Amino acid sequence: QKEVEQDPGPLSVPEGAIVSLNCTYSNSAFQYFMWYRQYSRKGPELLMYTYSSGNKEDGRFTAQVDKSSKYISLFIRDSQPSDSATYLCAMSGAGANNLFFGTGTRLTVIP
């Protein structure tokens, strides 16, 4: 079993929809939780960064972490065609060093 599980999709939504992306994990030592966005033929870029449990909002993006359930989510409000990309969750332990990634969810926002 992988340490980080993520539904690979693909996920297609109409423009303006609310998107929910999720990951589960098994390692209770994870304390830092991140979401990366990866456009085709590009490297991943950091979108959201959360320490421990709780919510964090940045514009149209909200990240949630529930450590008791070992479950993290990313919500995208008012989705735009430019949000079409692969979204990777990633997490690390107390040293915040080595990242463990999910497989990524491929999102398409249809105009």
Residue 49 interacting with another protein (CB under 8 A):
yes
Residue 29 interacting with another protein (CB under 8 A):
no
- Stretch binding another protein (CB under 8 A), from 12-20, 42-50, 55-63, 76-84: 42-50
Fill in the per-residue mask, 62 to 81: x = in contact with another protein (CB under 8 A), - = not in contact.
Answer: --------------------
Residue 45 interacting with another protein (CB under 8 A):
yes
Q: How far is the CB of 16 from another protein (least distance, A)?
A: 28
**What number of residues does the chain have?**
111
What is the Cα Rg of the chain in Å? 13
Nearest-CA neighbor of 35 among 108, 99, 89? 89
| Residue spans of beta strands (DSSP E) within 17-93 | 19-25, 32-38, 45-51, 54-58, 61-66, 71-76, 85-92
